[in-house]
Structure 1
Amino acid sequence: MHWYEKLNQYFPIEEMKSREHMESLLEERSDIYHKDEGPKHILMYVELDNFIFIDYLLVSKNARGEGLGHKLLEKLKRKGKPIILEVEPINYEDSDSEKRLHFYKREGFKHANSIGYERRSLATKELNELEILYWAPNNESEEMIFEAMKKTYNLIHTYKDQHFYGESYQPVEEVLTFSRDPKNENLFENL
């Protein structure tokens, strides 16, 4: 099965980029957008000078528990840059969402609870809320993570969006917010 189909089967429609969007990023932004694919995993990520953004990480269900996710993250951590990713809030009816958070907590990720992220899906037209997790090797601040997320949103998420989807995503100022006094709780507190 093609790597895109594997991702498309696993990730919710509102989080998926189109195949054309992702293939264009791999071809036209190959300096920063990368795919690491093996028989049991797919890792799509952005690497810039001062951070790495994981766009998609999929470890096959039959390979979970083998340490593959840990090995993939270790490979990125060795670069010595903050690693950022987006996750869905815990859905207690979906055991994968809780397992995913346990995994990232074990890997040393923190929840950027001062960053709000709410984007309207072009596929479903529904408002989609995501949480930002990050690994900070040098205690990078949430302000730095916020700036990196804005850059990722503009460089990657909205890349040629009008061309691929016939309409544009909202501007970054409407999607990402930063609060010096966060009201939302830390995702990892109740794990």
Structure 2
Amino acid sequence: MEHGWYERLENYFPEHELKSPAQMEELFEEHPAYLREQTDEYLIIYANFEEFIFIDYLLVNPKTRGGGIGTRVINAFKQRGKTLLAEVEPATHANPDTEKRVHFYLKNGFRKAQNIDYTRETADGTSYTMDIYYWSPSSTSERDILEQMQVVCDQIHNFHAKQHYGRLPADPDDVLTWKP
């Protein structure tokens, strides 16, 4: 089931949230933390760091969505005993999928980081905001979450980014802001 993973992402996620297929292939080949698991039921792409796991993309097959598969995947990741991080598009009534994604993470015990603003730009300069959701097996501060997101931006989003996009799409000093 190696084929078709990028097409599955393209059919579900907004274009501005997708990395280029070339950048992702390089991440899989060259970054030891960047991994992909895929079955007919789900696709998850994540970075498994020593202290935390960043869920870059999680997609459940539309034919089986709502059957608990996503929760089983998340629960398996929780068993690893690390903080889990996810970037989630803010919920809007105009896009029911956004509301479903937020509900999914909340239902699975994630919390929205209240003190972190995360705003990125598309290639044409249009700003968009993502929310940071996290789950932790122990008490963790949002300052810790901010530091982990800085690692994600540096090591995952910006991996060979100048070569692929001619810019850094997620310079942590520009895209992440602490709001007291």
Scaled by the length of structure 1, the TM-score of the pair is: 0.90
Partner of 2:11: 9
Secondary structure of 1:11's counterpart equals coil
Q: Give the paired residue count.
A: 178
CA separation of 1:140 and 1:25: change in aligned 2, threshold 3 A: same
Partner of 1:34: 35
**Paired residue type of 1:99:** K
Q: For 1:35 and 1:115, locate their aligned partners in 2 and report how far apart those are by CA, in whole Å.
A: 27
CA separation of 1:100 and 1:114: change in aligned 2, threshold 3 A: same
Shift of 1:168: 2.9
**Paired residue type of 1:134:** Y
Shift of 1:128: 1.2
Q: Taking every aligned residue pair, what percent have the same amino acid on both sides?
A: 37
Secondary structure of 1:56's counterpart equals strand
In the TM superposition, 1:84-123 aligns within 5 A as: 84-122=85-123
Give ranges in structure 1 of 5+ residues lacking alignment.
181-191
Task: Choose between structure 1 and 2 for higher RCO, CA contacts under 8 A separated by at least 6 residues.
Answer: 1
Q: For 1:7 and 1:62, locate their aligned partners in 2 and report how far apart those are by CA, in whole Å.
A: 15
In the TM superposition, 1:1-191 aligns within 5 A as: 2-29=4-31, 31-122=32-123, 124-169=124-169, 171-180=171-180
Q: For 1:39 and 1:172, locate their aligned partners in 2 and report how far apart those are by CA, in whole Å.
A: 35
Q: Where in structure 1 do 4 or more consecutive aligned residues deviate above 3 Å?
A: none
Partner of 1:183: none
Give ranges in structure 2 of 5+ residues lacking alignment.
none
